[in-house]
Homo-oligomer: A and B are copies of this chain.
Amino acid sequence: MALSIAARSAVAGQMRASEAASPPLVTPEACARCEAREVSVCSVLSGDDLARLSHISVVSTVGEGETFITEGDPADHFFNITAGTAKLYKLLPDGRCQVTGFARTGDFLGLAAGAVYVFSAEALEPVRFCRFARSKLRGFLRDCPEMERRLLDLARNELVLAQEQMLLLGRKRARERLASFLLSWQQRAAPGPGNRLMLPMTRTDIADYLGLTIETISRTLSAFKKTRLIAQTALSELIILNGTELAAIAAGDR
């Protein structure tokens, strides 16, 4: 069995939040090393602890479009993404959807859950993850305070990001929201060749993340292209030409 408990350094849409973020909990290098060995490693664990944690973990893979966490189901497991990207979302009875976040390699799912999951998770591209039972984790944490500390840091980080997103959803205009999203995604995603930014999600996903419609996303992206803030190299691939100006827009300065 393989296992990984890791977290990328989260980057908020704004400088201020970025300053407040904790240092990387697990470096990208460590993640890569884990993957190569087929045994993902929690950076704070070693020896016996690691072995014990491996006992309670299971590795799985899901294909694009598959839902692997469903809102309302008993929250029996924690997840750690080891490859791919997933969207996390909540639904209203009439089908309205709010994407609460995107999870990438190293991210941890299931912190924001009580007895049942309060969100669903769907793979945007093939996703590999490491899953383990919350009941067993509880016992493990009792003997491994270092691990608990990391989880608290993770939760803190997520809380900072969530509040930043509240500001975005409650008070920013469409162009400010999209600018914020592009910049924060640029910082989270590994840059492609030639500084290209890959967007594994559809326009619908972006719209549901930013509280807008696909038409508004499309129009706003077109406006950014026309003013040379970004360039589009493929349908889901673009280059940020003027990050400074984009950051000013994201912050609401113009």
Contact = CB atoms under 8 A, between A and B. Distances in A.
Interface of A: 16-17, 19-22, 71-72, 75, 90, 92-94, 96-98, 100, 111-119, 141-142, 145, 148-149, 151-152, 155-160, 162-167, 169-172, 208, 210-211, 251-253
A20 B152 CA distance: 19
A94 B163 contact: no
15 contacts: A20-B113, A20-B116, A20-B117, A90-B163, A90-B164, A90-B167, A93-B251, A93-B253, A98-B171, A111-B159, A112-B163, A114-B157, A118-B164, A148-B152, A162-B162
B118 A163 contact: yes
Contact of A72 (B16, B94, B151, B160): B16
Contacts of A117: 20
B156 A156 contact: no
A160 B93 contact: no
Nearest to A113: B20
Contact of A155 (B93, B97, B142, B159): B159
A94 B142 CA distance: 47
Contacts of A170: 98, 169, 208, 210-211
